[in-house]
Amino acid sequence: MDLLHELHPQALRIAGLLRQRGEKIAIADGATGGLLAATMLTVPGALDFFVGGGVVYSLRARDVLFDQPRAAYKGMRGASEDYALLQARSIRDNFGADWGLAESGSVGASKHPSGTPSGTSCAALATPHGEFTRILETGSEDRIANMGAFTRSALNLLEDVLQKDSCAK
């Protein structure tokens, strides 16, 4: 895939930062459809820093991967900061990782169950030193282009926080 080739250098940088720290990450892909995890798996020896994750595209997947009662989501809507942060914390904790990255979005070309406009994504990161989010609004209905844009945005959030956190030490 061209996207994986494009993102591979960034995956190498992220892997290097996680390895340097001796820390691991778990990933919950939403509208990115597995592209976040696939990008990290382009790095040889990914087991050093990547413990796993899953594609959360249904309530059943959400219930299994995050092991949260449905009441935990009360008042939340998909593709929002609180929703994505709950997922980032849950994937991190349930997989025993140091870092949890989650993306929740409305990729387009069909109606999102929460009414979130197409082209809207929220990436969330739960780290040992804080929590971070990033919203992306492409304004596009192009499903495939949005999947790529959402993946880039989430990886940029991860790399930015890793770099800042490494500089602060």
Q: Tell me: the pLDDT tens digits for 65-90?
A: 777 767 777 776 777 898 899 999 99
CB-count burial class (<10 Å; 0-12, 13-18, 19+) for 43: buried
Average pLDDT of the segment spanning 51-55: 92
This prediction has a pTM of 0.90
Average pLDDT of the segment spanning 96-123: 84
Backbone region of residue 51 per phi and psi (left: phi > 0; alpha: psi in -120 to 50; beta: other values): alpha
Full set of structural domains in the chain with CATH: 2-167 (3.90.950.20)
